[in-house]
Chains A and B, each alone.
Chain A
Amino acid sequence: QVQLQQWGAGLLKPSETLSLTCAVYGGSFSGYYWSWIRQPPGKGLEWVGEINHSGSTNYNPSLKSRVTISIHTSKNQFSLRLNSVTDADTAVYYCARRLASRPWDYWGQGTLVTVSS
């Protein structure tokens, strides 16, 4: 059974860097795209970006200048860094898995990240 378990700091001040990590248990790490998706409180879903097992990345154009997604294949983990956060970055952040040309089939439990001065 595939499980995605995520963690990271939940409270940040404006201008700080958001950092989250997602660990994958129970399945292959290669052959998939590993994604981050966020959801502001009471609002809809927004794709942040993704990385494959080879390290190739795709980012949401609206966030591209501030986002870095990296992969750590030896640990079956991948990470998200979002620089210069503002209130607008307050959201539940989910990690998720998808195959090429397929939707996300497994999701992490979500991490609420609050940006507040």
Chain B
Amino acid sequence: QSVLTQPPSVSGAPGQRVTISCTGSSSNIGAGYDVHWYQQLPGTAPKLLIYANTNRPSGVPDRFSGSRSGTSASLAITGLQAEDEADYYCQSYDSTLLRVFGGGTKLTVL
């Protein structure tokens, strides 16, 4: 049972827009702590996708965007491409558990 809750899976056709939610509580996201997002391709280490809620590291396409509101955060991917098929994880700070992850969401490009 992860501290941050994500849907196990989402899917979309090429070119479409998908969103992945990340729901926390008053001890983590709701307390104002930043949310970060990672993309993990099969057999590889996670890659930082979004940091501090809305910011993209250099090299990450602007098709990826993040937002945070209240006790939740979201990752949006527009113009879906086959190469986006991966697992996505949200991550934040919790006042008790320190660094916490969501359970992960598997994105399937139809």
Give chain A nearest CB distance to B52 CB in angstroms: 8
A103/B89 in contact, CB under 8 A: no
Give chain B nearest CB distance to A95 CB in angstroms: 10
A50–B98 Cα distance when bound, in Å, is 11
Q: Which residues of A contact B34 (CB under 8 A)?
A: 101
A109–B104 Cα distance when bound, in Å, is 19
User: What is B's interface to A at a CB cutoff of 8 Å?
Assistant: 2, 34, 36, 38, 45-48, 51-52, 57, 89, 91, 96-104
User: What is A's interface to B at a CB cutoff of 8 Å?
Assistant: 35, 44-47, 50, 58, 60-61, 94, 96, 101-105, 107-110
Q: List 8 A-B contacts (CB under 8 A).
A: A35-B99, A45-B104, A60-B97, A60-B98, A102-B51, A103-B51, A105-B57, A109-B45
